[in-house]
Structure 1
Amino acid sequence: MEYDSQSPKFALRVDSDHKSTQFRIFSIDKPHMRAFHLAWFSYFSCFLTTFAAAPLLPIIRDNLNLTTTDIGKAGIASVSGAVFARIAMGTLSDLFGPRLASASLLLLTAPAVFLFSMASSPFSFLFLRFCVANGFAGGWGNFGGGATQLIMPLVFGFIQHNVGAAKFTAWRIAFQIPAVFQMLSAIAILLFGQDMPDGNIHRLEKSGDKPKDKFSNVFWHGVKNYRGWILALTYGYCFGVELTVDNIIAEYFYDRFNLKLHTAGMIAATFGLANIVSRPTGGVLSDLMARRFGMRGRLWTLWVVQTLGGVFCVILGRVGSLKASIGVMILFSLCCQSACGLTFGVVPFVSRRSLGVISGMIGGRGGSRIEPLNGLGFLKQKKKHLEMQ
């Protein structure tokens, strides 16, 4: 059911479940659009901290005497730590609300970001990469992975040339910037965030408007859903690949084509920055195909786009010229990231009861990603789709 006029309680049009049926991108009206902007900003800050090391790896590896094996292990650690955290965070979001869950995660991992500048050995570098938060919202926040490739070399250059710090000191000082961003996003969530359109979960449970569920019931209901595991594998081969490329793409161009650090960062940035267009495009495409072909349209489109992403990934590893590599990388990024959006076009229909757990399972296989907007039901889903229970 959709109302013909605005609800006096909300600034946007809503349906009978108080899900928004409008999307005003320049609005910060509470709760729907404010939740959207807090979600992508917090995700952006997490991507900034997660990939802050990537564009500075040529400097960090010389300072800490890192081998190729050390760098590879650190990249794995930065992803593997989130695999388990995501499932836990999805469950916590279902039980306590994403506002407290997400802000707590940011605040708990912020010290690791500050301490990253004190890394003095390959082991400490690997351990802190494991501890740094990887991000937990959807949509535009992913372009933070690309913005980081631009921001960190610029911050490093400013500190080195304008402040006069040595290069091995400059990269350590530069890490304080993403740490501050992460702290600010956590505070913003606590001050301005809201769990659901009608209020925070604790108040709704206390008033009886929302039934309180048990941890074990929510967790096992999600974990036993085989559709969630299929999508987890799928997401691992789009967002997981994206995270891997974000970690090494600047170093790849720096070493293979003998580019300057800043130039390699600018080229690498196009991969992540494409998210501002490609990932939302995947979500929109999923909705458009669903209107005509239903759930099959969502699934087949996901398969086609993800397959194309795999093809371009293989081609990227085989081309030898700089221009060709950049062109193929852009095509690869568009398909890979659109597949991420297409995956989460399916996620809300897997399980209503354990949507946070399902999101955590799927996001954990990709690296680290929780979708609070989907979990809260802030955005309207088409009624003709049946929940895949």
Structure 2
Amino acid sequence: MQAHHHHGKPSFPLPVDGDRKATEFRPLSLAPPHMRAFHLAWLNLFSCFFSTFSIPPLVPIIRRDLNLTATDIGNAGIASFAGSIFSRLLMGPTCDLVGPRIASGTLSLLTAPVILATSLVSSPQAFIAVRFFVGFSLANFVSNQFWMSSMFSGNVVGIANGVAAGWANVGSGVTQLVMPLVYTLIMFFNVQSSTAWRLAFIIPAIFQVVTGILVLAFGQDLPSGGYIRYRNNPKENNNNNSLFNVVFHGLSNYRGWILGLLYGFSFGVELTTDNIIAQYFYDRFKLNVQTAGTIAACFGMANLFSRPMGGVISDKMGKRFGMRGRLWALWVVQTVAGLLCVLLGRVNTLWGSILVVCTFSVFVQAASGLTFGVVPFVSRRSLGVISGMTGSGGTIGAVVTQMLLFSGSNMSKQKSISLMGLMMVVCTLPVTLMYFPQWGGMFCGPSSDHHFSDENYSLLE
């Protein structure tokens, strides 16, 4: 590997652009600072997904012990996302202020004791409260994407974002597989069921502490070093970056709102599915906890390749057709995901359902990757805010679908799943309204009176 020197700037193991952001993405490399930041970011978020979704696969056992009603379980599902909305919105500006390393490492350490507290829960209220506070950890998604966008250049930011979030998201699948196994293993030593599920939660708690410490110890915010120094360096920063300005610019950008809505019905639907799918197979097809957990795990583990694939498609379409390509690809993939979700509710056989779940997972997760292929282009100055708005949109979508369709409603789960698919198809349509003066939109090219070069997109805002 040759090092690239930019007029006396430090040399890096990866080729970099003028901002010292990496122009190549090499997932198997640990080269500091770019690839090291990538591995710390995905692993830390992985542990947060592992914790947040360590509870659903054990719900069939926990509900016996705590006498949880269907409404309690639904409310707990809503609570896990409600915590995450609030914390994701705050995470954007926090990253803009202190940088992603301190923000994400600290959040992991603060939420680890909560997942440990699951083992002490003795009432439905406490169960709901634990899910609420564990949900906060998912805000690390925003810092994860923010960090990748600070480290990787525009030509590879789609794939960097996609893989960092995709690999992390696999945590929501792995945990559906691992937690029933841990529980079964503890039972093997003649421990009572009501003690066994409680002891199982020591695993996710320790895991989260370890990744939080790794981020704080080995992470670096920017290619050129720490974030605080960069913010306080007048050469690097113009005075336009007061927190108010940054937030105002983000919130007044309608593209951020549309991306939030789209993400609500790609990633949001994925989160809701993570919450209900093990129980759906357990109750509908009379499977045991392990088998239901394994099917649910397939849904989450598809993220290993499907979400990164969304990022790759976005970058490839962006190369060939510009912003129009990114937007069309997003619309097509997310609409197909919606139709598959409608189908999932209509299939009556076990194997048919498994097949549809797996195909659905690929499309819905690719749609998430495609959405974050567009995010870095909306605003450079308010990147954290736009990431936060889109990320919160994801969890708001999860709350809406969970509340409307899966909480104490008298509808069958099948019907709810199909309705969720219809909502996806409809809520993907606003992508047609997105327009960027310097690149155009789905139906029209860039506006002729703007001569933007690609490097200058930051001047838009």
TM-score w.r.t. length of structure 2: 0.78
Aligned to 1:12: 14
**CA contact 1:294–1:385 (8 Å) conserved in 2:** no
Amino acid at match of 1:41: L
By how many angstroms is 1:206 displaced?
A: 4.3
Structure 2: distance between partners of 1:219 and 1:91: 7
For residue 344 of structure 1, give the secondary structure of its aligned residue in structure 2. helix
Aligned to 1:235: 263
Residues 192-224 of structure 1, C-alpha deviations (whole Å, 9 max, x = no match): 011111011112234545327322222222111
By how many angstroms is 1:365 displaced?
A: 1.5
Aligned mate of 2:82, from 80, 83, 105: 80
Residues 172 and 98 of structure 1: CA distance in aligned 2, closer, same or farther (over 3 Å): same
Within 5 Å, which residues of 2 pair with 1:1-389? 6-7=4-5, 9-132=11-134, 133-134=137-138, 135-136=140-141, 137=144, 138-161=165-188, 163-211=189-237, 213-367=241-395, 383=454, 386=457, 389=461
Structure 2: distance between partners of 1:65 and 1:327: 33
**CA contact 1:117–1:172 (8 Å) conserved in 2:** yes
Structure 1: distance between partners of 2:456 and 2:243: 28
**CA contact 1:28–1:34 (8 Å) conserved in 2:** yes
Structure 2: distance between partners of 1:362 and 1:156: 36
Aligned to 1:372: none
By how many angstroms is 1:110 displaced?
A: 1.4
**CA contact 1:221–1:354 (8 Å) conserved in 2:** yes
By how many angstroms is 1:383 displaced?
A: 3.7
**RMSD between aligned alpha carbons?**
1.7
For residue 345 of structure 1, give the secondary structure of its aligned residue in structure 2. helix
**CA contact 2:277–2:296 (8 Å) conserved in 1:** yes
**CA contact 1:147–1:269 (8 Å) conserved in 2:** yes
Residues 64-117 of structure 1, C-alpha deviations (whole Å, 9 max, x = no match): 111111111111110111112111111000111001111111111112111111
Residues 229-281 of structure 1, C-alpha deviations (whole Å, 9 max, x = no match): 11000000000000000011111111111111111111111000000110000
Residues 323 and 248 of structure 1: CA distance in aligned 2, closer, same or farther (over 3 Å): same
By how many angstroms is 1:170 displaced?
A: 0.8
Amino acid at match of 1:130: F
**CA contact 2:81–2:395 (8 Å) conserved in 1:** yes
Structure 2: distance between partners of 1:74 and 1:164: 30
Gaps of 5+ in 2: 145-164, 397-452
Aligned to 2:438: none
Amino acid at match of 1:145: S
TM-score w.r.t. length of structure 1: 0.92
Structure 2: distance between partners of 1:52 and 1:91: 29
**CA contact 1:90–1:357 (8 Å) conserved in 2:** yes
**CA contact 1:54–1:247 (8 Å) conserved in 2:** yes
Amino acid at match of 1:160: M
Gaps of 5+ in 1: 369-381
**CA contact 2:3–2:13 (8 Å) conserved in 1:** no
For residue 84 of structure 2, give the secondary structure of its aligned residue in structure 1. helix
Aligned to 1:375: none
Structure 2: distance between partners of 1:385 and 1:150: 47
Structure 2: distance between partners of 1:257 and 1:267: 12
Residues 385 and 299 of structure 1: CA distance in aligned 2, closer, same or farther (over 3 Å): farther
For residue 352 of structure 1, give the secondary structure of its aligned residue in structure 2. coil
**CA contact 1:250–1:265 (8 Å) conserved in 2:** yes
Amino acid at match of 2:4: Q
Structure 2: distance between partners of 1:208 and 1:191: 27
By how many angstroms is 1:168 displaced?
A: 1.2
**CA contact 1:201–1:210 (8 Å) conserved in 2:** no
Structure 1: distance between partners of 2:309 and 2:357: 18
Structure 2: distance between partners of 1:39 and 1:5: 24
Structure 1: distance between partners of 2:26 and 2:368: 23
Structure 1: distance between partners of 2:68 and 2:38: 39
For residue 24 of structure 1, give the secondary structure of its aligned residue in structure 2. coil
For residue 346 of structure 1, give the secondary structure of its aligned residue in structure 2. helix
Structure 2: distance between partners of 1:180 and 1:17: 37
Amino acid at match of 1:148: T
Task: Name the stretch that deviates more: 128-137 or 205-214.
Answer: 205-214
Number of aligned positions between the proteins: 372
For residue 28 of structure 1, give the secondary structure of its aligned residue in structure 2. coil
